[in-house]
Structure 1
Amino acid sequence: MRVADIYIEYSASAIDRSFRYACEDPSVEVGMRVKVNFAGRDVIGFVVAVSEMANEDVANLGYSLSYVKERIDEYPLLNEEAFDLASYMAKICVAPLISCFQAMLPAKLKPKSTDHHVRTEVYVTFVQEMIVKGKRQQDAIEYMREHKKVKRSEFNQHFSCLKRLEELGVVELSQEERSADLDDVIETYSPMDLNQEQQTAVDMIRSKKGYGVHLLHGVTGSGKTEVFLHLAKEVLDEGKQVLILVPEISLTPQMVSRVKGRFGKAVAIYHSSLNNQEKYEQFKLVFEKKVSIVVGTRSAAFMPFDNLGLIIMDEEHDQSYKQDSTPRYHCRDIAIKRGEYHNCPVVLASATPSLESYARAYKGVYQLVELTKRIYDNVPETKLIDMKQSMRSSGNYLVSKEMREAIEERLAKNEQVIILLNRRGYAPILRCVDCGEVKKCPHCDLALNYHKTRNELVCHMCDYHEPFVQVCSKCGSTRLKYMGFGTQKLEEHLQEMFPSSRILRMDADTTRHKNAHEKLLTKFGNHEYDILVGTQMISKGLDFENVTLVGILNGDALLSRSDYRSVELTFDLLVQASGRSGRGEKNGEVLIQVYDCKHYAITCAQNNDYSTFFKKEMQFRHLGNYPPFSYLASIIFSSLKEEQLHDEVMTIADSLSVSDVKKLGPVELLRRNDEHRMRIVFKSKDFEALLQVVREVQNKHMKYKHKSKLEIDINPLYME
C-alpha cells in the first residue's frame, strides 16, 4: 500500500509530528499540499514522505489508515532545501515544524484551511486568420495576429467585437492564474566609478570564493549600495540569482529603482504591504524563474530560489528583521543558512552593526570589510543641545531655540529638513489635573495615547480606541492635561513656528494605506515639502541630497528603558538618523536634543565613533552576561485567569533542572489584551543546553489541563 506522512495545518506543539495516511493517488509527491480528515474535520497538510508499506505491516499497525482525500498542488511547493530550512528553524526557534512551513509560503499557498483562493484572468488567444467586412473587426484581427495572446480586459479597452470574433473562431478564451506583469525595463543608471575603499571592499568579498559571511561596516553615505550593485552584476552575469533584503517597506521602492535602473531587469518585490494575491504572484515569478533579482523585507528570505549567487542584508542591525510571532526567527539566521546551502556569499551591511555581528567579525568568524569615508567626504557637523539648560533659558520643551534658528536658516536657503521624534500620536499620556488619574487601556496596563486628528484615545499595544471625552472617568473633572508629545503635536507646533513651510508627517498613522511610504517619500524627494517629520522609519536608508539639517528630539528617550539593548538602540537610532543629513555636495548639520549629554551612547553617536561605543557596550554586556557573551530565551505565559497562571508558572519554574543554564524569574508583566502574563528568562553560554531547558518547559506546560498560552522567543531582541 502506498502511504504518505503528513504534517497537518495545526501548529500546536502537542501534535508536532507527522500522521500517516493511505494514498491511492500516484501523483502525490513530497512537498505537495493535500486534504485529509483529521479528528473529524477536513484539513490541509504537507506531505513530508511517501513510501510503500506491506499489507501485513499495515494490518499490524493496530488502527486503520484514513485515505488522502485530495491533492491540492500540481507540483511540489517545497524542495529539499525548503525542508532542510524548515527543520533548522523548528530547532533553533523551538517551534512546530508546520508553523515553519506556513512562515515560508505566501498566504494563498500556506498549508492552512482558508478562503485564500488564487485569482484567475481571462485571456484572448489568436487562433486563425479570417477576412471580415467590418473595419473595426479587421483591425481587431490584425491586433491579435500581432500580439497572439492578451488579457480580455486589455482587448476590451481597444475593441468591442470580442464575442463576434469568438463566434467566428478567430480567437478563443481561456482562464488562467493571474500573474504579475513584467514591464519592459530600461537601464537609466550607469555604473559609478568606485573609489579606492569601495573597490577594496568589492575585491575582499570576491576573493573568498563560495560561501562566506562578510560584514560590510560602512559609515552612512559611504556608498554601500554601489558596492552591492557591483557585486550583483558579476553574479547576474554568471546566470545566478540575487536576494537583497531591506528592513523597512519604505526602503524597498528606492532599492528596486536603483536595481532596475542599473541592470534593466525585472525585479520581484516582496513585503508586507502587498496583498495576498500580489505576494503569490511575486512568489510565482521566482518559482517559474522569470526574474533573477528579489528585493524585499524579512519574509523575502524564503523566496523559492534554486541558484542563489549572492545574498545582501542591508541595515543588518535593524530589529525589523526579527519575526514577532511563531516561529520567532531572525532573518539573519535564515540568510546565512541559505547562503551556506547555495555556497554563495552573504553580505551583512550597516553603519551600526549589531554587537553580535561585529563581535563575530572581530573574532574572524565573519570577514570584516570597512568603508570609513563618505562619498562626498563632507561629514555633517553634529551638535548636542542640553534640554535642561534650554528649557531654563527659553521654556520651550519641544523645539529648542537653537533648533528653531537652524530650521529657519535652512528654509531660507530653500534646503530641506528632517525632524525625528520616535513617538507617534499627539500625546502619550492624558492625566486629570484634579485627581491625577491617567486614562488607561481597559485591556492592557498601558496609558492611552491621544490622537488629535482622529480625536481618539488609542492603545499602541492592542489598537483599542475610544472617542476622546473631556471628562475624567474617575472624578468627573474636565481639567485634563496632555503629558508628553508625539509626531502629531510636533507637526502642529512646527506649523505654528513656520506657517509658510510645507510640512509632511510620516509615521504609522500616515502610512497605513497601500504604497503610502513610496508616495510620501516621492513627494518629499520632489521638494513638494520642506520639512519631513517622522518616527524611526525615516531614520535609515533615505537619500535626499537637499536635506542639510536633521533634528532629533528626545534623543536619549530610549535610555530610560530597562531593556538590556536600550543603549545599543539609542546609538543606532542617532547615528542612522544623523546620516540622512548632507548626503550630497551641500554641507550637512545634525542637532540632537537630549537631557543626558554625557552618556557614552550620546557622545559616541555625536562623534560617529562605533569603535569606542562597541568597546564600552561590550564591557556592560560582559558584566551582565548578555549577548553576545551568552544566549537568551524568553518564555512568556499568558492567561485570562491570574491565579491559575501564577500556580502553573511557579510549579513549572520550581521543577526545572537548570544546572548549566541560569534562570531569571518568573516575573509578572503588564497585562495585554485582558490577559495576565508572566515571564521566565534563561541564559546560557551553551546553546544546546538552553534549547533543552526550553523544550523541558514546553513539555511540562503541555501536561496542564487548563494551561496558559506559551510564547517562546530564542535570542529575543528586547525584553519589556
Structure 2
Amino acid sequence: MRLVHVFVEHPILHLDHTFTYRCYDANVKRGVRVQVPFHKTSIIGFVSKVEEADEQTLAKYPYEIKEITKIIDAEPLINEELFALADWMGKTYIAPRIACFQCMLPAKLKPSSTHGKIKMETWVRICKEPTQKLTEKQQAAYEQLERHGCMRRSTFYQMFKSCGKKLIAYGIVESYEQEAKASLLESEQDEEKTLQPDQKKAMQKLLHATQVVSLLHGVTGSGKTEVFLQLAKKVLETGRQVVLLVPEIALTPQMVQRVKARFGKAVAIYHSALNAQEKYEQYQLVKEHKVQIVVGTRSAIFMPFDHLGLIILDEEHDTSYKQDATPRYHCRDIAVWRAKYHHAKVVLASATPSLETYARAHKGIYQLVEMPKRINARFPEMQLVEMRKAVGNSESYLLSNDLLDAIYERLQKKEQIVLLLNRRGYTPILRCISCGFVQMCPHCDVAMSYHKEEQVLKCHTCGHTMSVPAYCPTCGKASWRYLGIGTQKLEEFVQIKFPQARILRMDADTTGKKHAHEDILKSFGNHEADILLGTQMIAKGLDFDNVTLVGIVNGDAMLNRSDYRSGELTYDLLEQASGRSGRGDKAGKVILQVYDTQHYAIQSALHHDYLMFFKHEMRYRHLAGYPPYRYLVSLVFSHKTKKMVEKDVKAAMQILEKKENGKILGPASLNKLRDEYRMRILLKGKDQALLNHYAWDVYQNHITKKARTRLDIDVSPVVLE
C-alpha cells in the first residue's frame, strides 16, 4: 500500500498544502492527476509525493485516510522542473501551488473536475493480408492504405466508400481510436537575409553573451526579427529548443508567418485564440518532440520543453506579459527562471524597453545590445499638431486639416494609412446637456460607452449592455449629447471625408471572432483596404511596406491617467505606432495630434529619443519613490458590501502599521467593479522579500478570521488605477 500526498484543485491559499490518501495501485506517480474524495464531493488533484506505508503507519494518523478514486494519467504531467517552478511562483507571487499548476497546462490537462475530454479520431489500418480475391476497387483501396500505413477513416471512406467498408467487414482493415493530432502544414520557404552591420554586431553579442539575460534595444524597423530568426537557427542547430513570445494575439499571425517561412513544419503556435483542443494538440507537438520552436503569447512560456536553449520576448515592455489573475506572474520573470534551470539564454527585445529592464541593462545586470539605426537608414518624418490651435481655427476635433490633407495625398498615391485611436466604441460618454447627468454602468463606477452599430451602451469593464434611454432619468428631458470619440465614430468620419477609401477597423469589437486578427491583417497586407484604423493593438509589431502615413489621434490622452506609468505608457504607444510608417522603400510620415505638446513623453517620441525619455522618467520615479527605485505590492479588498470591505481593510492596517520598514500608501477607495466595492493598500519599499512577508502576514490574518472579502495580492503591479 502507498500513501499519496495530493494538491487538490481549490485555488485557495489556506488549502495550499497536500492532503493524504491511500492507494493500492503501483502505477501512481508524482506529477500525475488523480481523482479523490474531498468533503462531500469528488475533485481532481496532482500527486506531490508517494511513499510506502503499512497499517502501523496508518494508525499514526488521527483521522481516517480515504482511498484515491481514480488515477487519470499514465505518465506525469508535472515534472521536477515544474514542481520547482510552482514552489518559486507560489512564494514570489503569493499564490497557491495548485493555481500555478493550472496556469502551466492547457485546459484539457488542468487539474479541474470540469476538464474537457481529449478529442479522439477514428483511423483505419491493415490488420491482415487478404485471403480471398479482391475486386479491382477493393485492391486499389488496399494498396492505397498499404502505402500510407494508416488513414483517417473519414478520408478513407471519401476515397473508397463501399469497397472500404467491405475491407473492414472482411477483417482485412480495422478501425481504431487515437487522439486528434495537430497537422504540421507546409509553408512557403524564404531565405535568410543578409545581415546589416548593426545586425551582425548584435548577433555576435547575443551569441557570445556571458549573462543569462540580454536586452536587444533596437529602434522600430532596425531588423530585430531577422536577428531573432538567425539566432534561433543557431540554437536549433545545437539540438536545443526555442520559444519566441509576442505580447498580443494581434502580433502572432505575422510572426508565425515569418517563423514558419524560415523553419517550415517545425513550429508550434500557442495563444489564447486557440480553443481548448487546439491548445492541447500544440502542447502535445512539443511534448512529443515533433517541433523544436514555439511562437506564442504569455502562456507559451510554460510549454513542456526539456532542452530549452533560447527564450525571446519581443516587445518586452508590453503590460500584456503580466498575468491579471492569480498567480499574477510576469512572463519575463518566468522566462529568466526557466532559462537558468535549462542553462539557456533570454533575449528581451524592444524599441521602448521598460524602465526596469533598461535600468538593469544600464547597470550591467543584463547585457545591453543596441541597434540604433533603421534598415532603410531613415526614420519617418514627424509632425506635431497642437489640437488646441487646430480646434480654435475651426478645424475638426477628430482629424486636423494637416492629417486630412496627408490622408488624401496618400490615397492618391495608392499608399496605405494607419490611424490610431486608443478608445473603441462610437463615443465614450452619454451626457444630458440639461442637468449634466452621465449614464454610468449600474455594476461599475464607469461611464457607459455608446456603440452606434449595435445602438447600445456598453461597459468596457464588465461587458454590461443596455439600450440608450429615451429620457434622462434625473431631469426627464430628452437632451442627450454624445461626448468624446471612439473608433466607430472615427471610422464613420473618415468614410464621410473619403467615401472611396476602403477602411478596416481593428479593435476589441471587430476581433471577437476566431481568426479575426489574422483575417484583418491579411486583408490589409494584400492591399484590400487603404486605411487600417484601430486601438493600440495596431500600434506595435506590424510590418507593411506600403504604409507611409501613421496618424495618431488624441496621442496624449493617457497622460491624464492617475497611474504612475502614464508617461511611460504614452511614450511607448507613440514610439511604437510611429514605427509602423515608412518601413519599406517609400518615405514615411507620422502626424501626432496632441493637446500637451511640451510634455517630455511627447517630445521624446517626436525625436525618437529613448534616452531623453529614460532620464526624465527616472528622475520622476526617483523623486516619487516608484519602480525601479522601489518595489510595490498591491492588496485589494473586494466585496458587495462596503462595510465589509472597510472592516477588513482596517484589520489589515492594524497589522501593517506595526511594521517598521517600508511605506504604506492608503487605504484608497477604487472604482466599484461588477457590483463589488474595492479598497487598496499599497506597500512600497526597497526590500521585495520584506514586502512579500508583510503581505503574507495580512493574508494569514485574513484567512484565520475567515474574512468574507476577497483579497487580491499583486506583487510588482505594472498598472495602478
State the AA in 2 paired with 1:568: E
SS at match of 1:665: strand
Coordinate RMSD, CA, aligned = 1.2
Corresponding position of 1:670: 671
How much does 1:655 deviate? 2.6
CA shift for structure 1 position 250:
1.5
Q: Does residue 92 of structure 1 match 2:92?
A: yes
For the residue of structure 2 that corresponds to 1:394, the secondary structure is: coil
Alignment of 1:522-671 (within 5 A): 522-656=522-656, 657-671=658-672
Residue aligning to 1:150: 151
The equivalent of 1:462 in structure 2 is: 462
Map 1:93-132; keep pairs closer than 5 Å: 93-130=93-130, 132=133
CA contact (8 A) 1:418 1:532 kept: yes
1:174 maps to what in 2?
176
Question: 1:346-400 CA distances to partner (integer Å, 9 max, x unpaired)?
Answer: 0000000000000000000000000000001121011110000000113310000
Q: Which amino acid aligns with 1:78?
A: I
Structure 2 partner of 1:324: 324
* Matched residue SS, 1:652: helix
> Match of 2:202?
201
Kept after mapping to 2: 8 A contact 1:99/1:327:
yes
- 1:680 corresponds in structure 2 to 681
Which 10-residue stretch deviates more, 432-441 or 48-57?
Answer: 48-57
What secondary structure is seen at the aligned counterpart in 2 of 1:528?
Answer: coil
Q: 5 Å matches for 1:350-365?
A: 350-365=350-365
1:392-431 alignment, distance < 5 Å = 392-431=392-431
Compared with structure 1, are the counterparts of its residues 438 and 71 closer, same or farther at alpha carbon in structure 2 (3 Å cutoff)?
same
Please tell me whether the aligned partners of residues 298 and 331 of structure 1 are also in contact (alpha carbons under 8 angstroms). yes
Output the CA distance in 1 between the equivalents of 2:504 and 2:186. Answer: 33
2:337 alignment counterpart = 337
Which stretch shifts more, 245-254 or 599-608? Answer: 245-254
Aligned mates of 1:565, 1:70 — CA distance in 2? 50
* Deviation digits for residues 443-470 of structure 1 (CA, Å, limit 9, x no counterpart): 0011100011111100000000012233
1:208 shift after superposition? 2.6
Higher mean C-alpha displacement, 590-599 vs 660-669: 660-669
CA contact (8 A) 2:567 2:601 kept: yes
Supply the distance in 2 between the matched residues of 1:61 and 1:550 (Cα, whole angstroms). 70
Where do residues 425-504 of structure 1 align in structure 2 (5 Å cutoff)? 425-504=425-504
Match of 1:689 in 2: 690
- How many residue pairs get aligned? The number is 718
The separation in 1 between residues aligned to 2:516 and 2:231, in whole angstroms, is 31
**Residues 185 and 265 of structure 2 are in contact (CA less than 8 Å); yes or no, is this contact kept in structure 1?**
no
Note the residue ranges of structure 1 that are not aligned, 5 or more in a row. Answer: none
Quick one: distance in 1 between partners of 2:96 and 2:39?
Answer: 19
Q: CA deviation at 1:52?
A: 1.7
Q: Structure 2 unaligned segments of length 5 or more: list them.
A: none
Cα contact 2:157–2:165 (8 A) shared by 1: no
What is the Cα deviation at residue 706 of structure 1?
A: 4.4
Normalization by structure 1: what TM-score?
A: 0.98
Q: Partner of 1:389 in structure 2?
A: 389
Task: Write the letter of the residue equivalent to 2:700.
Answer: N
Q: Distance in 2 between matches of 1:143 and 1:468?
A: 63
Contact 2:220/2:374, CA 8 A, preserved across alignment:
yes
Structure 2 Cα separation of the partners of residues 600 and 680 of structure 1: 30
Q: 3-state SS of the aligned residue for 1:370?
A: strand
CA distance in 2: counterparts of 1:661 and 1:39, whole angstroms: 41
- Name the CA distance, whole Å, in 2 between partners of 1:580 and 1:706: 50
Post-superposition offset of 1:442: 0.6
Tell me the CA shift for residue 704 of structure 1. Answer: 2.8
The residue type equivalent to 2:184 in the other structure is L
1:707 offset after TM fit, Å? 2.0
2: distance between equivalents of 1:374 and 1:251? 20
Superposition deviation, residue 54 in structure 1: 4.6
| TM-score normalised by the chain length of structure 2 | 0.98
2:666 maps to amino acid? G
**Are the structure 2 counterparts of residues 136 and 394 from structure 1 closer, same or farther at C-alpha, using a change threshold of 3 Å?**
farther
Verify the 8 A CA contact 1:185 1:266 in the aligned structure 2: no
Q: Give runs of aligned pairs for residues 296-315 of structure 1, distance below 5 A.
A: 296-315=296-315
- 1:141 and 1:456 map into 2 onto residues whose CA distance is 60
Whole-angstrom distance in 1 between the partners of 2:143 and 2:91: 60
Distance in 1 between the 2:219 and 2:610 partners?
A: 9
- Please state how far the C-alpha of 1:481 moved relative to its aligned partner: 0.5
1:394 touches 1:401 (CA, 8 Å); kept in 2? no
Distance across 2 between alignment mates of 1:185 and 1:512: 27
- Whether the 8 Å contact between 1:183 and 1:266 is mirrored in structure 2 is no
Please say if residues 356 and 627 of structure 1, whose CA atoms lie closer than 8 Å, have aligned partners that are also in contact: yes
Q: Is the 8 A contact 1:129 1:141 kept in 2?
A: no
In 2, Cα distance between equivalents of 1:708 and 1:20? 30
> In structure 2, what is the Cα distance between the partners aligned to 1:40 and 1:191?
61
Change in 2 beyond 3 A, CA 1:375/1:60: same
Kindly state the Cα deviation for residue 13 of structure 1 after the two structures are TM-superposed. 1.2
Contact 1:205 1:214 in 2 (8 A): yes
Could you tell me how far apart the structure 2 residues matched to 1:154 and 1:88 are?
A: 48
Distance 2:576 2:298 in 1: 20
Moved more, 574-583 or 87-96: 87-96
Within 1, Cα distance between the matches of 2:680 and 2:618?
A: 26
Native 8 Å contact 1:394 1:400 kept in 2: no
Q: Using the alignment, how far apart are the partners of 1:115 and 1:546 within structure 2?
A: 46
One-letter amino acid of the counterpart of residue 204, structure 2 = D
More moved, 434-443 vs 155-164: 155-164
| CA–CA distance in structure 1, aligned partners of residues 299 and 456 of structure 2 | 33
- CA–CA separation in structure 2 for the residues paired with 1:706 and 1:698: 10
Q: Compute the displacement of 1:256 (Å).
A: 1.4
Judging changes above 3 Å, is the alpha-carbon distance between structure 1 residues 99 and 709 closer, same or farther for their aligned structure 2 residues? same
- What SS class does the counterpart of residue 157 from structure 1 fall into? helix
Equivalent pair of 1:8/1:45 in contact (CA under 8 Å): yes
* 1:506-560 Cα deviation digits (max 9, x unpaired): 0000000001000000000000000000000000000000000000000000000
Q: Deviation string for 1:471-509 (max 9, x for gaps)?
A: 222222222100101000000000000001001100000
Counterpart code for 1:177: E
| Residue pair 2:128, 2:172 contacting (<8 A) in 1 also | yes
Deviation at 1:644, TM superposition (A): 1.9
- Name the counterpart of 2:82: 82
The answer to whether the 8 Å contact 1:426/1:488 transfers is yes
